[in-house]
Structure 1
Amino acid sequence: MFTPIKFYFLIFFFALLVLPVYAQQGTIKGLVMADSVPVPAISVSISGSTIGTITDDQGYYLLEKTPIGNYTIIFSGIGYDQYRIPIKVEPNGTTVVNAFLQKKQSNLDEVVVTGISRGEALRKSPVPITVVNKSVIEQNINNNAIDVLSKTVPGVSSVSTGPNVSKPFIRGLGYNRVLTLYDGMRQEGQQWGDEHGIEIDPYGISRVEVIKGPASLTYGSDALAGVINFLPATPDFSKKPFAGDFTLDYHSNNRLIGSSLGLGYQHGDWTYLFRGSAKTAQSYTNKVDGPVYGTAFREYDLSGSVQVDRSWGNTKLGATLYDNLQEIPDGSRDSLTRKFTKQLLDDGDDIKNRPIVPDDKLRSYRINPLHQHVQYYRIYSVNTFRLGDDQVNLTFGGQRSVRREYNHPTQPEQAGLDVSLNTLTYEVKYAVHPIYGIESTFGVNGMYQTNRSGNATDFPIPDYNLFDIGAYFFAKRSIGKIDLSGGLRYDSRHLTWEDFYVGLNPSTDFDRHIKKPTDPDTELQFPAFSHRYQGISGSFGAAYNLTDRLVLKGNIARGYRSPNITEIGSNGLDPGAHIVYLGNRSFVPEFNLQEDFGILYYTKALDLGLELFNNDIQHYIYQSRLTDTNGNPIVIVPGNTTYQYQQSKARLYGMEWSVNLHPSQLPWLTWNNSMAYVVGLNKDQSLLNQYGKDAKYLPLIPPLHIRSTVKISAQKALGIFDSPYFKVEVDHNSAQNHFYAVDGAETATSDYTLINCGLGATIKKKDSKSTWLRVFLEAENLFNIAYQSHLNRLKYFEYYEQSPSGRYGIYNMGRNFSFKVILPL
């Protein structure tokens, strides 16, 4: 657990890493051209550092105060092949480097940084990786950081509990099987909860990289299904040392008001960044339910970093703060009018006789007394040291996640759930220069974690300590047109907790945690536990570049995941989820063996991608509703369902397919199409023998998803409007009839098709070519279709067997317009 002394020591240690080091400097300048014409807005950067700029309107660039040494300078821009030149910066001198770019034939040379030893081009990685850039993020309506991924990345979906709570799923797997990173460091919140979202500012992200498939080799447990790395935004310092942006965002459906201010300052080798964001929203609405009570939220985000770049490498010290007030929906209604009702009592509460929520409470920014309060703090340091042609990376971080859920209407100040998760993460990685053409990397990473309960009344998980460590080796080599890569990893995780007692608190009449039992009525809710989980994971794959435009990829990987705390030790009510969870201490780690095959093909007029996968999982862990010997659901806490975790074999297989057309004869037109399909099969033979086809499929498997977008972009400015565009999207989700139906855990979901559209432009200043404003107008669910996503948890928030309207559960958001403006500073 963090103490003030430990925390201050951590800050002092990180501060030592960023002390300035004296170094001589030089200047780099030059001209960038293509087809004998100067090219503006080309990114110019020095590999392995944050030093960079962009070319001006005449194609010129200037990099001042560059530390002396040998570097590789990189030129990149939309529509052009990346160009790399080795250079040497002399002390107090000027190095002239001109570049002549070629029009891009494909984007296979785009460099990614997630899941590999160093930055690597997509064409060389056998692992399926997808990149979402800043323009895509800006041009889509986003209530949270996960929204844009589920809309734009085939194979990625989300389990949602309202508009501000989304958990990422990759190819039918989620929770602790998908590892979330921020700026390359693993994010540790309370991932085990259904209604626990990702604590990341959606306005502060410039790029997202998604690995689909086991990434346990590099990251260890919790990356069984894949990795999502959110990379923070950096302003454009090309023309001035001070830069930034200001964003205003409004959504019509839930009247969301969002704003974000990002500022940056560069002085010599030093870069300082700051961002503050805020958003608030009322309950969202649809034409079936009207305003959905309990879905309003208010969120604040702060982040900042300082970085220094020198000839020896670079080091960054960063910090983030996240504060979210999120209402808790429970779906209770009046049986006749279907209007939402609210809880007023703890003891004696009758869910069928609650009062109807007044209209003014349904349309208010004020957060109601039953809500979650989530606070998340992070401080971290990322360091790169160049040792000749070798490279050492050190990453350290401290995180604290505090989650309180207030669910007692008679004592609204009393939290039902109050847990604090403290995590220290570490990684040491050594990338060796090529030896006989083999690039190799050795690494050690892991974390130390403690969870403690506060002044709560419900205790779904015990107070525990966790220590995790893993060591890995990764190597890659290019042989002609073939790029080979692979490696091995060993993990060890020790999880322990002491006896955890619960007894009555006479001052509140609710339960409380009792450290030393003295009352005979005290209950031992969590008997002491200690266990070590171990596993070996690995991967091997190849990318075969048949031509510059066609690449074949194949990869086989063995993943590892240690059971999480709820799967092992839970024994209580999670008030936000309205579920009593029961764990299983005998669980063993999950292991999977996944085969991937992909085809990537790019021409001037066509981008084509096909990815096939097969994933066999041993000891797959899932939830199953607890029933008695007669098959009736067991109710431990009235008004809440009871689930117990099970373990069996499972298999998932499917595909992702994309075809993007951008004909050179029609440069103003792009037509992007994608499809994702996954089947999840339960291989528990005893369950299949007992329940038959009801137990055939796994829970939370997304249906067939097809998306098609036509975009028209003007090729020249229209008055003050530069690069205006208009797009129309068709978003189709097929019916999901393959679901886990045992004990009514899931039900079938009907198909639905949504029409979305959007337009936007950059507004230039009258007297110059510089940007004054970027404007975006988006519309989702334009025709206000009433639908339920199969992965929407609110679909199952229903307390009646009969409904006058014939509709059950809560529906997804209706028509929503978004107006966003971004003002560069």
Structure 2
Amino acid sequence: MKPFLLYCFCFFISLNAIAQKVMVKGLVTSQNEPVENITIKILGSNGSTKSNVSGTYQLNGIPSGNYDLIFSGIGYQSKRIKVTLKGDTTLVNADLLSLASDLGDVVITGVNRATQLRKSPVPIAVLSKKSMDQNVNTNLIEAIIKGVPGITAVTTGPNVSKPFIRGLGYNRVLTLYDGLRQEGQQWGDEHGIEVDEYGITRAEVVKGPASLTYGSDALAGVINMIPYSPNFEDGKLKGDFTANYQSNNGMIGSSIGLAYIKNDWKYTFRATGKTAHNYQNKIDGLVYGTAFREYNLSASARVDKAWGFSKTAITYYDNLMEIPDGSRDSLSRRFTRQVLDDGDDIKNRPIVPESDLNTYSINPLHQHIQHYRFYNTSQFKFGTSDLNLLIGGQQSVRREYNHPTLSSQAGLYVVLNTFNYDLKYNLPDFAGIESTIGVNGMYQGNRSKAATDFPIPDYDLFDIGAFYFAKKSMGKIDVSGGIRIDRRNIHWRDFYVGTDAKTGFGKQVSSTDATGKLQFPSFDKNYYGLSGSLGLTYNISEKLLIKANIARGYRAPNITEIGSNGLDPGAHIVYLGNRTFKPEFNLQEDIGIIAYLKDAEISMELFNNNIQNYIYQSRLTDANGNPVVIVPGNLTYQYQQSKARLYGAEISVNLHPSAMKWLSFNNSLAYVVGLNQNQELLNKNGREAKYLPFIPPLQVRTEIKTTAQKAIGIFDKPYIKVDAAFFADQDKFYALDDTETFTPGYTLINGGIGSTLKTKKGKTLCDIFLQADNIFNVAYQSNLNRLKYFEYYNPSANGRSGIYNMGRNLSFKVIIPI
């Protein structure tokens, strides 16, 4: 009997132990700061959760006993802690180490959910604000160009840079602001990206087709410009004041940003102003028509809760920018300006007085570009899954004043309204597979107002696409890919242009107006796209990996390619579109090798890109080979479509000897070849038609930088650097009808010093940057500079043709914390 009673007693004790449930909770930190989105998993069980915005976590109903807790998250080294769970509650805190190398950097662009760079097979580059601050930048895109190999820009003066990725640009590069599509008539050459450069804290660049996530217009890649998000103690108001002066064009920039955190709410505000007179070089002197004045305002509010977060933001961009046309006196080569509408002779205009070349006043012939943006981005958490919603509205107002006899009359006046929507659901992990389904697109309407020139019709566009994306880690291999389908509808009604009896200029009229002419017959068409990608990353070791990716991209023709039929005053080009164009599709293969060694970081990326139905511009000539002139003083371009191929490489070798921590030696090379595969054109014209337009030449950038490892007085770790940018001859250009010409190579030497200034008690006073671009004042022309082709004399009096790029430019920048 006694053994039986003892057995029963033990049995009931065991049942009681089994029934005992424990709650596990704690705080996850890194460098004494709370860390959110860290996964806490109990090894050997299904129990898991994630840390919230305060770094805390909680697991309920865990049987008592001995366990291993695994803490893991993107950008941090995983940590295992052995614990014994007993009683009602067990407290387990974890302090994680961040991954030191860039391979541990976290990206959000083109991958649907936060992902380490090492796990993405798609080539992605990240540029920090610190890197951008340490260069002389005339605009935000210029900053990205200097920091990311393979990125270039077509420019029209210092304030206009249209980004190109691996030789492809315009509507093939999708620019995002905080994840929202930037819609501001990207087809135009003569205006830039409507974003405040001082308000961007980080840029992420996807090199290659990103149509899977974003649909049309991401054929070449994506540039996501991410604004500042505060992360400091509760109840504090912090900010910064930036002042910047550049000597070449007298650019004066200032910006103030403020941020405040209270309980679960984060608020930001920024105001920026920039103004500059004409830029200069030693060939042209001051280049008339390149002054600008820019203003930016932005504000946001974000709330973080256990259920997720919601952020609402608003931005305003206002830019007054002159319109250069390159007209000159034939003998002195001094710039001239238009003073007549009727009877204007571009070769007999009055010379611009010196006082008008060096003024901050904006001349009557200018552009006025305004951009309004309002959006909300939210995330709703459901255990191990989450729903992400982004909705936004934008308005782009673009006016070009090109009538000297009636300067208040806009030649071009268009208003583009866009509504964007983006819904993504990150599904719960299943069998180690992270997957996302989503739908996104936009509705867009473009309307001409009181204008005199109409290069494109009023149109409406509706875009929708759905996708599925998945990724899985299998030991040393990370695999990801997905598929997407898109539909875009573009339509417009008959558009008539007549004559204003009072001014003699053109105006939009009804079909019953006696002066009316049908400039844009009605149009309605659907474009469909199927895109997808498949890639893998093989982690040979923690510091060495190989990436491979194949992707199919899609781009519907933009409005100017199918609908244009008139003068764009700012570009000084008459564009002629083609209503029969088909969508572009490309198939791109990428392979990359990346090594993060003790004393060096080495990467090599190779790509091959085949495009069907590639659309490009070409000068229009008559049967005798002479340029067709529809509007006097303006070139005429007609869009073409053919097969194309682009291939090339980007190589980076960055040395940072561990024995000399004060020294870094960074080097990069970028090379791309663009081939026109229009066989009919090649058979007729040979080498003149062999290459694609706007392809950058071989580029090599090298930088040597020394940084003090200790403070020197009030200077905290000051640095000094010298860099060189080498551009080879571009003899692989689209020469048919003199669309492009040979561009000789050149080398630019740049330098800079900078430091953080601190008090003896360690309080930061400011950051200062003294920098110089083109130290030796080299006279050069980039083959991507549109002003190179602003020439009306052949030959010219001094043997030079077109306008040259900016000469020496000294910059002083100071950032003062508030």
- TM-score (ref. length: structure 1): 0.90
Structure 2 vs 1, CA of residues 76 and 237 (structure 1 numbering), >3 Å: closer, same or farther? farther
| Equivalent residue, structure 2, for 1:320 | 315
Contact map agreement 1:392 1:430 (CA 8 A) in 2:
yes
- Tell me the CA shift for residue 765 of structure 1: 2.2
Contact map agreement 1:317 1:382 (CA 8 A) in 2:
yes
- Tell me the CA shift for residue 107 of structure 1: 2.1
Q: Which has the larger radius of gyration?
A: 2
Within the candidate set 367, 378, 400, 1:405 is matched to 400
Please give the per-residue CA displacement for 1:731-763, whole angstroms capped at 9, x wherever unaligned: 100010000000000001010000000010000
Within the candidate set 670, 676, 683, 1:682 is matched to 676
2:790 maps to 1:797: yes
Amino acid across the alignment from 2:37: S
| Equivalent residue, structure 2, for 1:555 | 549
Local SS of the residue matching 2:103: coil
2:449 maps to 1:459: no
Contact map agreement 1:752 1:787 (CA 8 A) in 2:
yes
Please give the per-residue CA displacement for 1:565-617, whole angstroms capped at 9, x wherever unaligned: 00000000000000000000000000000000000000121100000000000
- Tell me the CA shift for residue 436 of structure 1: 1.0
Please give the per-residue CA displacement for 1:303-342, whole angstroms capped at 9, x wherever unaligned: 1100000000000000100000000000000010000001
| Equivalent residue, structure 2, for 1:821 | 814
Local SS of the residue matching 1:146: helix
Structure 2 vs 1, CA of residues 347 and 132 (structure 1 numbering), >3 Å: closer, same or farther? same
1:363-382 alignment to 2 at 5 Å? Answer: 363-382=358-377
| Equivalent residue, structure 2, for 1:533 | 527
Amino acid across the alignment from 2:158: P
Please give the per-residue CA displacement for 1:464-488, whole angstroms capped at 9, x wherever unaligned: 0000000000011111100000000
2:745 maps to 1:755: no
Local SS of the residue matching 1:434: coil
| Equivalent residue, structure 1, for 2:663 | 669
Local SS of the residue matching 2:610: strand
Local SS of the residue matching 1:794: helix
2:438 maps to 1:448: no
| Equivalent residue, structure 1, for 2:15 | none
- Tell me the CA shift for residue 69 of structure 1: 5.7
1:759-770 alignment to 2 at 5 Å? Answer: 759-766=753-760, 768-770=761-763
| Equivalent residue, structure 2, for 1:39 | none
Contact map agreement 1:44 1:73 (CA 8 A) in 2:
no
Structure 2 vs 1, CA of residues 68 and 468 (structure 1 numbering), >3 Å: closer, same or farther? same
- Tell me the CA shift for residue 556 of structure 1: 0.4
| Equivalent residue, structure 2, for 1:46 | 36
| Equivalent residue, structure 1, for 2:412 | 417
1:490-569 alignment to 2 at 5 Å? Answer: 490-519=485-514, 521-569=515-563
State how far apart, in whole Å, the 2-side matches of 1:181 and 1:344 are: 40
Amino acid across the alignment from 1:144: N
| Equivalent residue, structure 2, for 1:10 | none
Structure 2 vs 1, CA of residues 754 and 451 (structure 1 numbering), >3 Å: closer, same or farther? same
Structure 2 vs 1, CA of residues 645 and 85 (structure 1 numbering), >3 Å: closer, same or farther? farther
Amino acid across the alignment from 2:749: I
The count of residues paired between Structure 1 and Structure 2 equals 769
Amino acid across the alignment from 2:791: E
Contact map agreement 2:216 2:554 (CA 8 A) in 1:
yes
Contact map agreement 1:327 1:368 (CA 8 A) in 2:
yes
Local SS of the residue matching 1:688: helix
Structure 2 vs 1, CA of residues 540 and 74 (structure 1 numbering), >3 Å: closer, same or farther? closer
| Equivalent residue, structure 1, for 2:596 | 602
State how far apart, in whole Å, the 2-side matches of 1:348 and 1:67 are: 75
State how far apart, in whole Å, the 1-side matches of 2:72 and 2:235 are: 21
Unaligned runs of 5+ in 2: 1-24, 40-51, 60-68, 83-88
| Equivalent residue, structure 1, for 2:47 | none
State how far apart, in whole Å, the 2-side matches of 1:502 and 1:31 are: 65
Contact map agreement 2:109 2:224 (CA 8 A) in 1:
yes
State how far apart, in whole Å, the 2-side matches of 1:414 and 1:64 are: 53
Within the candidate set 323, 328, 332, 2:327 is matched to 332
| Equivalent residue, structure 1, for 2:13 | none
**Cα RMSD over matched residues?**
2.3
State how far apart, in whole Å, the 1-side matches of 2:145 and 2:547 are: 24
2:184 maps to 1:178: no
- Tell me the CA shift for residue 144 of structure 1: 1.1
| Equivalent residue, structure 2, for 1:638 | 632
Structure 2 vs 1, CA of residues 744 and 31 (structure 1 numbering), >3 Å: closer, same or farther? closer
2:712 maps to 1:718: yes
- Tell me the CA shift for residue 689 of structure 1: 1.3
State how far apart, in whole Å, the 2-side matches of 1:618 and 1:75 are: 41
Amino acid across the alignment from 1:773: C
Contact map agreement 2:671 2:698 (CA 8 A) in 1:
yes
Within the candidate set 73, 95, 99, 1:99 is matched to 95
- Tell me the CA shift for residue 507 of structure 1: 1.8
| Equivalent residue, structure 2, for 1:152 | 147
Please give the per-residue CA displacement for 1:667-698, whole angstroms capped at 9, x wherever unaligned: 00000000000000000011111111100000
| Equivalent residue, structure 1, for 2:581 | 587
Amino acid across the alignment from 2:443: Y
State how far apart, in whole Å, the 1-side matches of 2:435 and 2:273 are: 43
Structure 2 vs 1, CA of residues 368 and 313 (structure 1 numbering), >3 Å: closer, same or farther? same
- Tell me the CA shift for residue 102 of structure 1: 7.3
State how far apart, in whole Å, the 2-side matches of 1:86 and 1:417 are: 66
Structure 2 vs 1, CA of residues 190 and 85 (structure 1 numbering), >3 Å: closer, same or farther? farther
Contact map agreement 2:29 2:35 (CA 8 A) in 1:
no
| Equivalent residue, structure 1, for 2:244 | 249
Contact map agreement 1:69 1:311 (CA 8 A) in 2:
no
State how far apart, in whole Å, the 2-side matches of 1:586 and 1:460 are: 18
Please give the per-residue CA displacement for 1:237-257, whole angstroms capped at 9, x wherever unaligned: 248621110000000000000
1:295-306 alignment to 2 at 5 Å? Answer: 295-306=290-301
Please give the per-residue CA displacement for 1:144-173, whole angstroms capped at 9, x wherever unaligned: 110011112110000000000000000000
2:266 maps to 1:265: no
State how far apart, in whole Å, the 2-side matches of 1:85 and 1:488 are: 37
Within the candidate set 756, 770, 782, 1:777 is matched to 770
State how far apart, in whole Å, the 2-side matches of 1:547 and 1:29 are: 27
| Equivalent residue, structure 1, for 2:156 | 161
Local SS of the residue matching 1:203: helix
2:465 maps to 1:470: yes
Structure 2 vs 1, CA of residues 370 and 238 (structure 1 numbering), >3 Å: closer, same or farther? same
Please give the per-residue CA displacement for 1:246-283, whole angstroms capped at 9, x wherever unaligned: 00000000000000100011000000110010100000
- Tell me the CA shift for residue 516 of structure 1: 3.5
Within the candidate set 389, 397, 408, 1:394 is matched to 389
1:223-242 alignment to 2 at 5 Å? Answer: 223-235=218-230, 237-238=232-233, 241-242=236-237
343-352 vs 510-519, which deviates more? 510-519
State how far apart, in whole Å, the 1-side matches of 2:106 and 2:33 are: 13
State how far apart, in whole Å, the 1-side matches of 2:362 and 2:71 are: 51
Amino acid across the alignment from 1:769: G
- Tell me the CA shift for residue 27 of structure 1: 9.6
State how far apart, in whole Å, the 1-side matches of 2:361 and 2:748 are: 31
| Equivalent residue, structure 1, for 2:687 | 693
Please give the per-residue CA displacement for 1:76-105, whole angstroms capped at 9, x wherever unaligned: 99xxx6567999xxxxx997845263783x
Contact map agreement 1:48 1:313 (CA 8 A) in 2:
no
Amino acid across the alignment from 2:498: G
- Tell me the CA shift for residue 72 of structure 1: 11
Amino acid across the alignment from 1:101: L
Unaligned runs of 5+ in 1: 1-25, 33-41, 50-62, 88-92
State how far apart, in whole Å, the 2-side matches of 1:178 and 1:231 are: 16
State how far apart, in whole Å, the 2-side matches of 1:446 and 1:31 are: 38
- Tell me the CA shift for residue 122 of structure 1: 0.7
Contact map agreement 1:213 1:226 (CA 8 A) in 2:
yes
State how far apart, in whole Å, the 1-side matches of 2:243 and 2:198 are: 10
Local SS of the residue matching 2:102: coil
